[in-house]
Amino acid sequence: MTQPALQADKPASDPNRTVIKTFLRAIEDGDLDTIVSCYHPDVKHTEWPNALRKEGVVSNLEDVKTAFHRGRTSVRSQTFHINALICDGDVVAAECLWRGVLNVDFGKLQAGDTMTAHVCSVFELRDGKIFRQRNYDCFEPFS
């Protein structure tokens, strides 16, 4: 017996899918206003422990804004290649390949080199905005 296609009953133009794509493109573009507009005012962003954040971190919207400005000093540009975007109601999982061109030396990488991470982000949306975000970032070796 064949299983039905995942989310076959969901239109390709799912508004939650659109929010996440808009959000990722805004990060690439360095567009803080659009990033903030994608977030619910009471967002909780969890970044699980990884090579950059050994203890992990939980952030609110103000923390996210601060991290955005800090990140702009160390990364000159970044891209997300979306490998999979899976929507289930108000939950969206995005599997992406992230690449960031560095402004600074970091580990064995020099300014101008590209840092790479395999990322899975799980987003919970409320009122069409990102209410909860959990990032599982797996960085390729840089030290």
SS3 17: helix
Domain contains 26: yes
- Domains contained in the chain, number: 1
CATH number for the domain that contains residue 119: 3.10.450.50
Domain contains 93: yes
Does the reported pTM lie above 0.85? yes
Domain contains 5: no
SS3 66: helix
Domain contains 4: no
**Strands 129-139, 57-59: pairing kind:** unpaired
Domain contains 2: no
**Calpha distance 117→33 (Å, rounded):** 25
Domain contains 3: no
Domain contains 73: yes
pLDDT at site 1: 42
Q: What is the pLDDT of residues 96-119, one digit of tens each?
A: 999 999 999 998 999 999 999 999
Q: Which residue numbers in the chain have pLDDT < 50? A: 1-10
Q: Which domain holds residue 87?
A: 15-139
Task: Determine the length of the chain.
Answer: 143
Q: What is the pLDDT of residues 59-74, one digit of tens each?
A: 999 999 999 999 899 9
